A and B are shown apart, each in its own frame.
Chain A
């Protein structure tokens, strides 16, 4: 990094800095969303295996 960029970085305000509690809860929420998406993927995969080609047959 050049001297000018370093000087700019020092002058920039910190912006929004998350507290430890906010970071922890955000991480928890992110993990929960990831798990939910994982469950959804596994569910679709499992049902595809169970139904086989019939998965494309969706009567109304």
Chain B
């Protein structure tokens, strides 16, 4: 008689993973991660004082990995929703490449190491804020708000807006008005951006049972909300210049970009016929990505020019 029951093993043979590195990389939501890295880079760049490049790189890496961990945990918890939506059906969990338990373990491991590394190597304020950001995205947004209220992406947007604040805290060990302005810009940018997406994907969200604003309140109410949030966004995006933190170059670019956002948001509000409405919504969605990128790139450029100008003038002195 054998001690091992080989028949029992054969019947309950474990699932052997065929997941490739690319599948795990996809769990990190690389496109979201790239935006997080970029906004965090701006948060680091505008922070006062000297921050050693190795520590700056470490901070960015930890923030990026923390964002990736949030993405993996989000996918682990939303496998059922992702499978029902055309936009997300191709993710590793709905495709059966990675199980929810594997994604959960992956996300928790990355979250643990990103927070610990940022805390030990940079400072614990930043580590704690990164931990809070991950907690907010995974528990408050994914587990609670997303399936419960149409305001899910409004409140949940705070998690996406925190990376530049984490970066600033990593560089300075304290908090100030400038990173909070960056937070507010991303916070008020999130609703017009995601509701534009939700407008042309509302069937998807309805099928998955996610109470996005167009599903719950209808497209017209969503169009009005997009316009209102865009007005607030444009005003707040001008504040770094209005409060004297940045030069007129930023002010002018922010004004031009804001005018573009307002025109497109007004178009979304006005155009109600199916085809025209779809076109207007897609345009706003695409432009909103460009808007945030150029706005933050301008902030970055101003800082680079400001810190580079004395150096260049010293060459010619």
B96–chain A nearest beta-carbon distance, Å: 13
B28–chain A nearest beta-carbon distance, Å: 12
Contacts of B121 in A (CB 8 A): 43-44, 47
Contacts of B120 in A (CB 8 A): 58
Centre residue among B9, B20, B123 by max chain A CB count within 10 A: B20
| With known contacts A46-B54, A60-B124, A40–B14 Cβ distance under 8 A | no
Question: Which residues B34-58 have CB closer than 8 A to chain A?
Answer: 52, 54-55, 58
- Per-residue B-contact encoding for A37-60, CB less than 8 Å = 1, 0 else: 000100110110010000000111
| With known contacts A32-B21, A40-B113, A47–B55 Cβ distance under 8 A | yes
Contacts of A2 in B (CB 8 A): none
Question: Which residues B115-138 have CB closer than 8 A to chain A?
Answer: 117, 120-121, 123-125
Q: Which residue of A lies closest to B20 (CB)?
A: A25
| With known contacts A16-B16, A21-B18, A26-B17, A43–B117 Cβ distance under 8 A | yes
Q: Assess whether B13 is interfacial by the CB under 8 Å rule.
A: yes
Q: CB within 8 A of A16: which of B13, B24, B58, B124?
A: B13
Instruction: Please provide the 7 A-B residue pairs with the shortest distance between their CB atoms, ordered closest to farther.
Output: A47-B121, A32-B21, A50-B54, A28-B21, A25-B20, A22-B16, A25-B18
Q: Which residue of B lies closest to A28 (CB)?
A: B21
Question: Which residues A4-19 have CB closer than 8 A to chain B?
Answer: 13, 15-16, 18-19
For chain B, the count of residues having a C-beta within 8 Å of the partner chain is 25
Interface on A for B, CB 8 Å cutoff? 13, 15-16, 18-19, 21-22, 25-26, 28-29, 31-32, 40, 43-44, 46-47, 50, 58-60
CA distance A21 to B20 in the complex (A): 10
Contacts of B19 in A (CB 8 A): 25, 29
Contacts of B117 in A (CB 8 A): 40, 43-44
A18–chain B nearest beta-carbon distance, Å: 6
Interface on B for A, CB 8 Å cutoff? 6, 9-10, 13-14, 16-21, 24, 52, 54-55, 58, 61, 113, 117, 120-121, 123-125, 173
| Known contacts A15-B6, A16-B16, then 18 further A-B pairs from the complex at CB < 8 Å, ordered by chain A residue | A13-B6, A21-B18, A22-B17, A25-B17, A25-B19, A29-B19, A29-B21, A43-B58, A43-B61, A43-B121, A44-B117, A44-B121, A50-B54, A58-B120, A58-B124, A59-B123, A59-B173, A60-B125
Q: CB within 8 A of B123: which of A13, A28, A46, A58?
A: A58
CA distance A22 to B16 in the complex (A): 7
Contacts of A31 in B (CB 8 A): 21
Q: Which residue of A lies closest to B65 (CB)?
A: A36
Contacts of A47 in B (CB 8 A): 54-55, 58, 121
CA distance A37 to B84 in the complex (A): 36
Contacts of B9 in A (CB 8 A): 15
Contacts of B54 in A (CB 8 A): 46-47, 50
User: Are A18 and B16 touching (Cβ within 8 A)?
Assistant: yes
B270–chain A nearest beta-carbon distance, Å: 50
Q: Which residue of B lies closest to A17 (CB)?
A: B16
User: Are B20 and A28 touching (Cβ within 8 A)?
Assistant: yes
A56–chain B nearest beta-carbon distance, Å: 11
Contacts of B6 in A (CB 8 A): 13, 15
CA distance A47 to B289 in the complex (A): 35
User: Are B173 and A16 touching (Cβ within 8 A)?
Assistant: no
